[in-house]
Every structure is written in structure tokens, then in C-alpha cells.
Copies of this chain bind each other. A is one copy, B any other.
Amino acid sequence: MLKVRLPLGACARSWKSVRMASCGMARRNPLENKVALVTASTDGIGFAIARRLAQDGAHVVVSSRKQQNVDRAVAALQGEGLSVSGTVCHVGKAEDRERLVATILDINVKAAALLTKAVVPEMAKRGGGSIVIVSSIGAYSPFPSLGPYNVSKTALLGLTKNLAIELAEWNVRVNCLAPGLIKTSFSRMLWEDQARQESIKAAMQIKRIGKPEDCAGIVSFLCSEDASYITGETVVVAGGTQSHL
């Protein structure tokens, strides 16, 4: 999954209407004057991130592969008074995409790399930008039976470092988020059964399963000017079940 500021045709109008925020206001609406593309953002962590970036002042472009999911998410966020538009995002042409879909490694790593390359020229024109990639604690402590998923998430840690180096000259920062167990449809089998959920929580330091919103604040922070000296870095958001030395 890749989060990136992107000027798609779909959001051309909002793009033009961006006003310059005064410096003193920056802190109140830390993302004012920004356009945010959030991929895979019609549900779960992506949706929480999209909402938060919009609440913090960005115009958000919700993106996914299915039109109806995009429409639903856009309507929901607009209903909250947020500045949001939507786009169906294909990585390349249909036949290419089919091949990309062939493996998780391709989807998670190559699509992220390709999408980044696609949006950087536009970021460069605007004087810079910020990319936040979403990895997982499975990158560090593999989830059983999810080998390709885990390996792709480890690869994203390396992709973050590599893109940070490559894109520094365009004033584009690249950082990464490694969520732990977050209550989404993806992780349903881990928390649906109440007994299993309780046993998982018992082993945690912070005795709750994370919410998608727990991942949203850090993304907004990493996109803001406050993080302007942070690049190439990965932050674990896992209630203490995993952390960096």
C-alpha cells in the first residue's frame, strides 16, 4: 500500500483552488495547501488515514480499484464536510496489472515503486512532497502461513530507504509505517473469535487491539513540515508488541 501526494486529473480543480496558508496557521491545519493521494483507502487503515489527512487540512484523493468503493468512501467523507475527491487507480494497463496481481511481492513492492515514480515529477514541480509507505510488523516477526506477505513487507522497509535516497534531490521525503494488529477486515480472523482476541490482548503491553485511527496520526505527522528532517525511517505502531532498538 502506498500513500502519496498526487495530482491526478480527477482532482485538478481542487489542485488549482489551493490557497497559501499563512505560516502561523500551519500548526492548526498542518496539511493545508497539500493534496494527498491515499491508495487502498476505501476501508480500514487507508480510510482512516484519508479521513485524518483531510481533517488536518489536505485535499484528499481517495483511490481504489473499484469504482463503487471509491464512490462510497468519497460520499462518506464529504458528508463529514471534508475536501475529498476520488479516482479509480489502475497500476498500468489492464493486462500489465493482471500480471502484477500475480504475486503479492509484485503488488506490494513493484506497484509501490512504480506508483512513486509516477507521482514524483508532479511533486517535484510543486517543490517537494512526502510519501508514506505502509509495511507491517510481519516484516520483522513473520506471521505464520503468510510468507509472501511478510517478505513483501520486509522489502518495503528497504524500498523506503532506497526511495528516500533517490528522491531527496527533489525534496521528496519517504517514510514508512509498520502497524501491528489493527482491527480491520484483513485481520478479522485474529479478533473475530472473542476468546482468541482476549488471549492476544493478554500478551500485549497496551491491552487493546489497534484501531485504524491509531495509524492515521503518524501518517499526518510524517506528511507535515514537522517531519521535515525525517526520511528513510520506519515507525512501528503496535502497542509495544514490536519495536525498534
Residues of A within 8 A of B (CB): 27-28, 55-56, 103, 105, 109-110, 113, 139-142, 144, 147, 150-155, 157-166, 168, 173, 180, 205-207, 210-211, 214-218, 220-221, 224-240, 243-245
Q: In the complex this chain forms, how many copies of it are found?
A: 4
Contact of A230 among B113, B168, B220, B237 (CB under 8 A): B237
Q: Which of A27, A103, A205, A227 has the most CB of B within 10 A?
A: A205
In the bound complex, CA of A227 to CA of B240 (Å): 12
- Rounded to whole Å, the gap between the CB of A21 and the closest CB of chain B is 14
B240, A165: Cβ atoms under 8 Å?
yes
Q: Which of A103, A157, A158, A180 has the most CB of B within 10 A?
A: A158
In the bound complex, CA of A207 to CA of B139 (Å): 23
Residue of B nearest to A56 (CB): B27
Contact of A217 among B205, B221, B243 (CB under 8 A): B221
A158, B153: Cβ atoms under 8 Å?
yes
Residue of B nearest to A52 (CB): B226
Residues of B close to A243: CB separation below 8 A: 160-161, 164, 231-234
- Rounded to whole Å, the gap between the CB of A124 and the closest CB of chain B is 15
- Rounded to whole Å, the gap between the CB of A162 and the closest CB of chain B is 4
Residue of B nearest to A216 (CB): B226
Residues of B close to A165: CB separation below 8 A: 142, 144, 205, 240
Residue of B nearest to A55 (CB): B27
A232, B227: Cβ atoms under 8 Å?
no
Contact of A158 among B150, B215, B239 (CB under 8 A): B150
